[in-house]
Amino acid sequence: MKTPTTSRAQSFVFKSFAYLALALTTAGLAVAQAPVADSPAVEAQAHAMLSKLTLAQKIELIGGVDDMFTHAAPTIGLPRLKMSDASVGVRTWGPTTAYAGGVALAATWDREFARSLGQSLGRDARARGVHFLLGPGVNIARSPVNGRNFEYLSEDPYLNGSLVVPWIEGVQSQGVSATVKHYAVNNQEYNRHNVDVTVDERTLREIYLPAFETAVTKGHVDAVMDSYNLINGSHATQNEFLNLKVLKGEWGFQGILMSDWDATYDGVAAANHGLDLEMPSPRFMNDKVLEPAVKSGAVKESTIDDKVLRILRVALRYGWLDHPQQDLTQSTYSAADRPVALQGARESLTLLKNDGGILPLNAGKVKTIAIIGPDAWPAITGGGGSSQAQAFEPISIVTGIANLAGPNVHVLYTRGLPDMGDLFGRTKWNGPIKVATYPSEDFSGTPATSDEPTISNYKNEWWGAPDKTPRSLRYTGKYKAATAGKYLVLAAASGSDHYVIRVDGRQVIEQTQVEGQHPESATIELSAGQTVKVEGDYLPGFVGNRFGLAIAAEDTLLSEDVKKFAAAADVAVVAVGFDASTESEGLDRTFTLPWGQDALIDAVAAANPHTVVTLTAGGPVDTHRWLDKVPALLDTWYPGQEGGTAIAEVLFGKHNPEGKLPVSFDRAWEDNPSFKDYYPIAGADTKLHVVEVGLPDRDDVIPHVTYNDKLMVGYRYWSTTGKHPLFPFGFGLSYTTFSFSKLEVPASAAAGSEVKVSFDITNTGKSEGAEVAQLYVSDPSAKAQRPERELKGFEKVRLAPGETKHVSLTLDARAFSYWDEAAHKWTIDPGKFTVLVGDSSENTPLHADLTIK
């Protein structure tokens, strides 16, 4: 008997229900469940759940609760969903494994490591019952001083997109949703809640949006986080162009669009313009705002339904309704993932200078090694803010080197510089400090006066007991120089405090950050016996006095052990750079090294010609004062908990350095193409009226930044202008050498077709190593102005001495396209293109032309 036939649609529905049931049953065993594809079964279940909710219940679901959760809906079986920050580790819920993430990941140029990292983070999340990892961050490193560059990736959209896809796939394969952030153009921390970025559409499409686009269209990320800032006049969380037209329209994003924490500013506008979930709580998208808006027609109930459906679909894709998210088969302290952390650290370390082949160190000849500097111990695994992860067992540079060197090598360690609080307290002022406290915020009125022996009230805290009493404080003192030379002027406060420092009436320091801040310093020249008048005008924020001010001769800053240890050692390692207090979310960092560190390097280099500098930073820094005095510079980024071990292995040749710069390394901040247009335009501020339920209306001041550098970001600027940075994008030294040969490019291709490119790479040295072959495309015949070259392909290759590998790369249509603003689409101008292959943006020995017809 012939069985009844079913239609293809019916068969698809039956199979979808079967697959969904199987996935949910398997999920009940708490094994990793990658998201299932959307299907009629998922859609039907989501709509059935939605139909059981009242309007008030639906509105409740689109606002967070308890800082890191969504609301549960017990009537439909929806649990509350747990989140965690995730730039270098699953950091919100206690100690964790801290990996080489962000810019360190980008320095690996390794797609497969990105996948392994994502899988490890996913397992760590499951061990803690986390549903959403709030990462990766893919914003472009437009400027070296952005405080969050360390947790983003690179200056190049292709490199960012190439690494973010396997990262997302790795995380989501473990049953955890990734959250790509911060959408969009969050390229500075200065006044991040209020700054309005003016940027043209072509620059958006070619530089700042592609990594997000790739995350959505190729990585299939299930959550996106909006940024704090405004873009072309509208906050990201209510930006119709970005959220509805581009993200949910052109890219077809089907997941959840959430706000950054307290990044929502208008409930109705956010609801109508694409925001699905307000975090950490519904200050604006709440029942008091949205229920009347729905009743009046200002917001359609179908708009609320779409947001809830997106949350439900994601929960159904991962099976979160049917099993506990915490997987007890995963370790909270994961020994299995320590090798992943070590791999990332090894691959990211980038050797920038190695004069005379001082590295690797000869273990047989090094009997004493001096390790000096504030970043030598304890271990610095990452920058500050919401990405700061507390590792279980972080390995510092001191312990890493000592462990590898063994008991027969003497290790001498000193921090070299005093604690900042001690410096404030020990400054020898010439008489008491006169303190005038004014009952206003502009130094007007009759002040209360007092005398203090020092200016040492500094506290490293963003928050504290509120004190909104209007006041401003003026500190006046005298300082007498004991000897001639360079003197450090150092000041610090916290939060939104503001201060200006003057020496003999000349301003030497001004603290301008709005949300958070780092210590500020200046160097002045004084002659022996010279007495100067020092004034500090201090405006506390909303808490008490947190101000400190010091002056000290540079040669007295350093501990007595610095020169003694350096001179006694066969080699000196100076560990300098930033940490969580000086490079962080909420504030921009300095381009110069933190206070005293230039002087520290000078002193060590003068005492020992075999000096190696290790640099901890999220990007380039000012090296002009000391780079020509030291033979070696190793950029360590923020290498995670295994950084000390990896650094020791590279210094002693146990691992061949293989990191490549993901950013151009500028000589000076002023050389960077964003320098003139980074901070807000003077006099261009506007006001934005904000209405928040339960609070008085307010007018927020909106500063404006215009991206006049347009497409000329990083190496695009340097290669187009013919100028040169200190170290180019893609650069990194190895203990071996490589050569490129036999480039094969077709003579012509049809517009829109794929182009196959191949070449050979050979290890011409004497040790095993890894090289990153980089492919750039140039369009000299374009009708529109384009950068001289753009990265469009790369491959990391590991080779034994003398080994050759044949590399094949495929270029798609986007590799040859630019955004045509008039036509509002990607365009290829037929004509001549040039393919260039090499090991950095400036060293491309292979090149060949092809014609796009």
Catalytic residue chosen out of the listed positions 110, 226, 260, 666:
260
Q: Are strands 64-65 and 69-70 parallel, antiparallel or unpaired?
A: antiparallel
Helix (H, G, I), strand (E, B) or coil at 29: coil
| Max intra-chain CA distance, the chain | 112
Whether the link from the prior residue into 136 is cis, omega within 30° of 0, is yes
Chain-centroid distance, C-alpha 485: 38
d(Cα 206, Cα 819) in Å, to the nearest integer?
7
Six token digits for residue 850: 């092809």
Distance (Å, whole) CA 552 – CA 421 = 13
Q: Are 272 and 291 in contact (CB under 8 A)?
A: no
Strands 455-456 and 448-452 turn out to be: unpaired
> 834-852 burial, b if ≥16 CB within 10 A, otherwise e?
bbbbbbbbbebebebebeb
* Residue 126, CB-side half-sphere exposure with 13 Å CA sphere: 28
Alpha-carbon span 66 to 78, nearest angstrom: 17
How far is Cα 668 from Cα 636, in angstroms, rounded to an integer? 20
**Residue 442 CB: number of other CB atoms within 10 A?**
9
Instruction: Give me 429's structure tokens.
Output: 């002022």
Is residue 260 among the annotated active site residues? yes
Question: What DSSP string runs through 335-401?
Answer: GGGHHHHHHHHHHH-EEEEEGGG--S--TTT--EEEEESTTSSS---S-BSTT---BSSPPPHHHHH
CA distance 846 to 77: 60
Question: Distance between CA atoms of 85 and 385, rounded to whole angstroms?
Answer: 10
B/e letters for 514-545, b = 16+ CB within 10 Å, e = fewer, are bbbbbbbbbeeebeeeeebebbbbbbbbebbb
Beta-carbon contacts of residue 405 (< 8 Å; ≥ 6 apart)? 363, 366, 369, 411, 648, 652
What is the C-alpha separation between 416 and 554, in angstroms, rounded? 12
Taking the CA atoms of residue 660, residue 663, residue 668 and residue 671 in that order, the dihedral angle to the nearest 10 degrees is 130
CB 185 within 8 A of CB 713: no
Active site positions, annotated: 260
